[in-house]
């Protein structure tokens, strides 16, 4: 299996601020690799180093076999990049934008550009000025622009932020299809259900790499079990439980409390809710979000 | 990854590298042209859609042309004057002779009455006439230095009124001292500076602000291609506006163009490059369009005030005269004025042209040094 991205103790300092420190990871070719972490965790900084927009302060890295410091030009020819701040010209139409990027990359195959456009369902809006499109259509156009030159690697920085579920699904579906065609995808997100669509994940917190693995591995590694409580009135129940277990969280009107280890706390929960109507108390596997919060906070407290 | 895989990967990398560098060599120049064309084309589309900016870029020079051409007169006529003590038809006729003065109050009875009239603003000049009928002294309201200076100049040539042999004053090149003849040529330089600097700075900063610059930096586009591609459309716009100002100056104000228009256009190129590079430099320090506008004003105002385009260089104190020497407009103003009014050409103007060429090179190098295709 060949490797698309490697980093070795890669780090970036802004003044005294350590934005990313000692990140060592490997992304395989054809893999959908997710960088997850709270805002400010260093995901974008890491991506910008890989793409040559930032010079690393420490460490090394390669992208598609090229050194991220010396071979920036070669890397740029081969990757498609979708920045977090929307990168298309909002006063140009979708087609003008696509043509511009195709020209910049020297793409003469207009049929391919057309196929990218229709794969992302942009035919109907192709003449419209990008600034007037819905967020979903805008993000799909940005993705199309990042794909016009058949990149070997696509780097997507929060591609689905502010996007409706349908458009979000079409973006992820395309990423999956690209991966099956051998295109590696490096995607950042802090939406956990999306993270579960990645082959592998790297969890960043405060600039450090906290954990890597498949979504399932990260969930098991969190060592959590979650108590799902359905009680009435739920507001009161939540207030009581949160006082005792601050990590308790609301999912609709149900309350999830993650515990490391077994179900020993069941009695304590029943005790706490005495006087309220406890409709059900079940034990669940943690969601990606539960695991994420647990893993991020263990690291932060260390 | 085992050793065999590793080796295979290396070979793979190697062959890819060789084929790439060959491909790069083959397509380097055509690639540059293609990317340059793409950027320029995109800028033109954006410019065509951005009617407000174009209106501002074309409208502001027009307004300035009209204000400078019609409104602001560096020569003032019809300065109000009064005679004090007694009427003197000779003095009065002399004052009125060239339309310089308008004798409003024929005779004020005393000097103190004249001073009151000066204070009230009823007159700007009071000529005190002795019993002999000869003027003895003149009072001038200095609160408007501009009018006062003009009045003094006229009065000096007016000694004939007192019966002294007239001093003959000949004004060359702009005999009527028409302000349009003086202003329009220097306005060409000021407008080019304004349009070139503002348009370039805004054009780059807007991309930074909107995040499209980051996206562009991620493409194979090279720094020079990006710089030139951004600059070309604005150079075209600036030149069109400069030609427009010149033609309107010729038509509306009958400003003479005695020298060669071709030379004027040719010498404008190094000047234009300097102005656009200053715009690029501004764009490297400004994070958003507001900052870009403020920085441009900060950079342009001293240029316009200290370059001799509005006020003569000799009026600029020695302490800050050296600043003038660093400004492109200081060298372009004599070029436009001398080509328009005196019909001079390269033989006489080459020192200024040479300095502008040197400045164009230096400013471009500075812009290239500070213009980054990285974010940190």
CATH of the domain at A209: 3.40.50.300
Indicate the DSSP class of residue A128.
S
pLDDT tens-digit map of B243-257: 998 998 888 888 888
Confidence of residue B363 (pLDDT cuts 50, 70, 90): very high
Closest residue by Cα to residue B210 from A101, A232, A131: A131
Q: Is the pLDDT of residue A196 over 60?
A: yes
> HSE of A102 in the Cβ direction (CA atoms, 13 Å)?
18
Pair A188, A260 in one domain: no
Q: Is the pLDDT of residue A142 over 50?
A: yes
pLDDT at B355: 96
Rounded CA separation A98/A148 (Å) = 7
Domain holding A244, by residue range, is 224-285
The answer to whether A50 touches A217, Cβ cutoff 8 Å, is no
Q: Check residue B335 and give its pLDDT.
A: 93
Indicate whether B195 pLDDT > 80.
yes
**In Å, how far is A184's CA from the nearest CA of chain B?**
16
Residue A296 belongs to some domain of the structure: no
One domain, residues B107 and B238: no
CB burial string B223-241: b at 16+ within 10 A, e below: eebbbbbbbbbbbebbbeb
Do both A128 and A270 map to the same domain?
Answer: no
Q: Are residues A92 and A190 in the same domain?
A: yes
Same domain for B297 and B214: yes
Cα-based angle A155, A157, A159 (whole degrees, multiple of 5): 100
Query: Could you report the per-residue pLDDT of B30-40, keeping only the tens digit for each?
Result: 788 899 999 99
A105 to chain B, closest Cα gap in Å: 7
Query: Whole-angstrom Cα distance, residue A200 to residue B180?
Result: 73
Same domain for A266 and A173: no
Within a domain: A100 = yes
In tens, the pLDDT along B218-240 reads 888 888 898 899 888 889 989 99
B5 CA: distance to closest CA in chain A (Å): 8
Question: B7 pLDDT exceeds 50?
Answer: no
Do residue B282 and residue B307 come from a single domain? yes
**Pairwise CA distance, residues A68 & B193, whole Å:** 40
Q: What is the pLDDT of residues B145-161, one digit of tens each?
A: 667 777 777 777 665 54
Q: Which residues of chain B are within 8 Å of residue A87 when distances are taken between CB atoms?
A: 211-212, 214-215
Whether residue A206 sits in one domain with residue A58: yes
Per-residue model confidence (pLDDT) at position B17: 41
Contact B211 A85 (CB under 8 A): yes
With a cut of 80, say whether residue B98 has pLDDT above it. no
Mutate to test the interface with A, among B219, B222, B230 (most CBs of A within 10 A): B219
**Which residue from A minimizes the CA distance to B28?**
A106
pLDDT, mean over chain B? 80
| Residues A156, A266 share a domain | no
Least confident of B26-30, B57-61, B139-143: B26-30
Residues A190 and A278 reside in one and the same domain: no
Residue B93 belongs to a domain:
yes
pLDDT of residue B169 exceeding 70, the answer is no
CA atoms of B89 and B97, how far apart (whole Å)? 12
Domain boundary among B135, B162, B189: B162
Same domain for B318 and B192? yes
Asked if the Cβ–Cβ distance from A103 to B38 is below 8 Å, we say: yes
- Kindly tell me if the per-residue pLDDT of A122 is higher than 70: yes
B262 membership: H or E segment, kind and range: helix B261-285
Q: Which of A59-68, B4-13, B203-212, B301-310 has the lowest mean pLDDT?
A: B4-13
Do residues A25 and A121 share a domain?
yes
The number of distinct structural domains making up chain B is 2
The answer to whether the beta carbons of residues A153 and A63 sit under 8 Å apart is yes
Q: Could you tell me the CATH number of the domain that includes residue A249?
A: 3.30.70
Whether residue B318 lies inside any domain: the answer is: yes
B247 within a domain of the structure (yes/no): yes
**Residue B346 domain-assigned?**
yes
Taking 90 as the threshold, does the pLDDT of residue B351 lie above it? Answer: yes
Dist. CA A198–CA A292, nearest whole Å: 14
- Evaluate if pTM is beyond 0.80: no
B16: pLDDT strictly greater than 50:
no
- Give the H or E element holding residue A27: strand A17-28
From B162, B193, B222, give the residue that closes a domain.
B162
pLDDT higher at B282 or B92: B282
Least confident piece of the model among A239-243, A288-292, B289-293:
A288-292
Q: What percent of chain A has pLDDT over 90?
A: 55
Of A55, A79, A88, the CB nearest to B376: A55
Contact B42 A96 (CB under 8 A): yes
**In a shared domain, residues B46 and B86:** no
Residue B304 and residue B249 in one domain: yes
B219 touching A (Cβ < 8 Å): yes
pLDDT of res. B15 = 39
CB A187 within 8 A of CB A34: yes
pLDDT at B172: 53
User: Are B102 and B227 within one domain?
Assistant: no
Q: Is residue B331 a part of any domain in this protein?
A: yes
Domain boundary among A188, A214, A240: A214
- Burial of B15 (C-beta count, 10 Å sphere; 0-12/13-18/19+): exposed
Residue B2 tokens read as: 């085992």
Residue of A nearest to B19 (CA): A74
> What's chain A's average pLDDT?
89
What is the 8-class DSSP label of residue A123? Answer: G
Chain A residue numbers touching B50 (CB-CB < 8 A) = 91
Of A186, A207, A236, nearest to A50 by C-alpha is A186
ipTM value for the complex: 0.82
Q: What is the pLDDT of residue A32?
A: 96
> Scanning every residue of chain B, which has its alpha carbon at the shortest distance from the alpha carbon of A62?
B13
Dihedral angle, C-alpha A205, A211, A217, A218, nearest 10 °: -20
Do residue A242 and residue A131 come from a single domain?
A: no
Task: Name the residue range of residue B128's domain.
Answer: 79-162
Indicate if A149 and A95 belong to the same structural domain: yes
B322 and B196 share one domain:
yes
In chain A, the number of structural domains is: 2
- pLDDT given for residue B158 in this prediction: 65
pLDDT per residue as tens digits for the range A71-110? 988 999 999 999 887 889 999 999 999 999 999 998 888 8
Chain A nearest CA to B42, separation (Å): 7
Residues A179 and A245 in one domain: no
B123, B139, B162 - which closes a domain: B162
What residue has token string 């006082």? A243
Asked if B110 and B52 sit in the same domain, the reply is no
B374 in contact with A, Cβ within 8 Å: yes
B158 within some domain? yes
pLDDT of residue B104: 67
Percent of chain B with pLDDT over 90: 22
Cis bond upstream, residue A233 (ω within 30): yes
Q: Which residue has the higher pLDDT, B267 or B28?
A: B267
Do both B316 and B185 map to the same domain?
A: yes
Question: Does B267 share its domain with B290?
Answer: yes
For chain A, say whether B312 makes contact (Cβ under 8 Å): no
Region A186-210: mean pLDDT is 90
A65 and A196 housed in the same domain? yes
Same domain, B182 and B285: yes
* Least confident interval from A129-143, A258-272, B90-104, B189-203: B90-104
pLDDT tens digits along A27-44: 999 999 999 988 888 999
CATH number at residue B135: 3.40.190.10
Q: How confident is the model at residue B137 (pLDDT cuts 50, 70, 90)?
A: confident
Q: Contact at 8 Å (CB) between A91 and B46?
A: yes
Q: B319 lies in a domain?
A: yes
- Asked if the Cβ–Cβ distance from A53 to B217 is below 8 Å, we say yes
């Amino acid at each position: 299996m060949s490797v698309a991205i490697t980093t070795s103790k890669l780090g970036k300092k802004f003044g005294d601020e350590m934005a990313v420190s000692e990140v060592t990871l490997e992304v395989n070719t054809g893999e959908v690799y997710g960088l997850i972490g709270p805002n400010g965790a260093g995901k974008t900084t890491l991506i910008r180093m890989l793409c040559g927009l930032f010079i690393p302060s420490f460490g090394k890295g390669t992208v598609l076999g090229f050194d991220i410091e010396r071979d920036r030009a070669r890397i740029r020819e081969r990757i498609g990049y979708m920045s977090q701040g929307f990168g298309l010209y909002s006063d140009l139409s979708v087609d003008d934008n696509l043509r511009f990027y195709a020209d910049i990359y020297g793409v003469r195959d207009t049929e391919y550009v057309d196929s990218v456009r229709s794969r992302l369902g942009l035919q109907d809006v192709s003449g419209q000025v990008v600034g007037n499109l819905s967020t979903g259509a805008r993000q799909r156009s940005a993705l199309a622009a990042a794909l016009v030159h058949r990149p070997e690697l696509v780097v997507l920085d929060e591609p689905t932020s502010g996007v409706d579920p349908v458009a979000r699904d079409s973006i992820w579906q395309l990423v999956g299809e690209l991966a099956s065609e051998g295109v590696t995808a490096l995607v950042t997100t802090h939406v956990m259900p999306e993270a579960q669509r990645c082959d592998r994940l790297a969890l960043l917190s405060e600039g450090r790499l906290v954990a890597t693995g498949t979504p399932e591995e990260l969930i098991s590694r969190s060592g959590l079990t979650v108590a799902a409580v359905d009680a009435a009135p739920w507001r009161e129940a939540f207030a009581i439980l949160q006082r005792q277990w601050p990590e308790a969280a609301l999912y609709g009107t149900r309350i999830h409390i993650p515990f490391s280890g077994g179900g020993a706390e069941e009695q304590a929960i029943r005790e706490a809710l005495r006087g309220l109507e406890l409709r059900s108390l079940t034990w669940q596997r943690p969601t990606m979000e539960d695991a994420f919060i647990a893993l991020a906070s263990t690291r932060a407290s260390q | 990854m085992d050793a065999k895989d590793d080796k295979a990967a290396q070979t793979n990398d190697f062959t890819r590298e060789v084929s790439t560098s060959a491909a790069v060599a083959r397509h380097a120049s055509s690639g540059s042209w293609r990317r340059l064309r793409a950027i320029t084309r995109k800028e033109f589309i954006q410019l065509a859609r951005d009617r407000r900016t174009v209106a501002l870029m074309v409208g502001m020079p027009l307004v300035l042309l009209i204000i400078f051409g019609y409104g602001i007169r560096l020569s003032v006529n019809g300065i109000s004057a009064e005679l004090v003590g007694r009427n003197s038809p000779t003095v009065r006729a002399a004052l009125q002779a060239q339309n310089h003065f308008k004798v409003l109050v024929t005779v004020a009875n005393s000097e103190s009455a004249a001073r009151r009239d000066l204070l009230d603003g009823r007159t700007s000049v009071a000529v005190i006439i002795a019993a002999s009928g000869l003027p003895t002294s003149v009072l001038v309201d200095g609160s408007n230095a501009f009018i006062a200076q003009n009045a003094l100049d006229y009065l000096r040539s007016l000694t004939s009124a007192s019966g002294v042999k007239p001093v003959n004053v000949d004004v060359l090149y702009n005999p009527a001292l028409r302000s349009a003849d003086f202003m329009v040529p220097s306005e060409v330089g000021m407008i080019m500076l304004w349009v070139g600097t503002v348009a370039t700075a805004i054009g780059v900063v807007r991309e930074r602000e909107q995040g499209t610059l980051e996206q562009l930096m991620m493409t194979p586009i090279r720094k020079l291609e990006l710089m030139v591609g951004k600059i070309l459309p604005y150079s075209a716009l600036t030149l069109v506006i400069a030609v427009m100002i010149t033609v309107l100056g010729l038509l509306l104000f009958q400003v003479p163009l005695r020298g060669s228009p071709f030379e004027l256009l040719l010498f404008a190129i190094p000047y234009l490059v300097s102005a656009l590079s200053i715009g690029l430099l501004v764009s490297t320090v400004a994070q958003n369009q507001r900052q870009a506008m403020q920085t441009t004003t900060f950079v342009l105002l001293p240029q316009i005030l200290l370059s001799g385009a509005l006020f003569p260089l000799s009026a600029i104190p020695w302490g800050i005269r050296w600043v003038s020497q660093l400004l492109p407009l200081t060298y372009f103003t004599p070029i436009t004025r001398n080509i328009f009014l005196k019909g001079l050409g390269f033989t006489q103007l080459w020192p200024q042209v040479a300095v502008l060429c040197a400045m164009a090179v230096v400013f471009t190098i500075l812009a290239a040094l500070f213009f980054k295709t990285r974010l940190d």
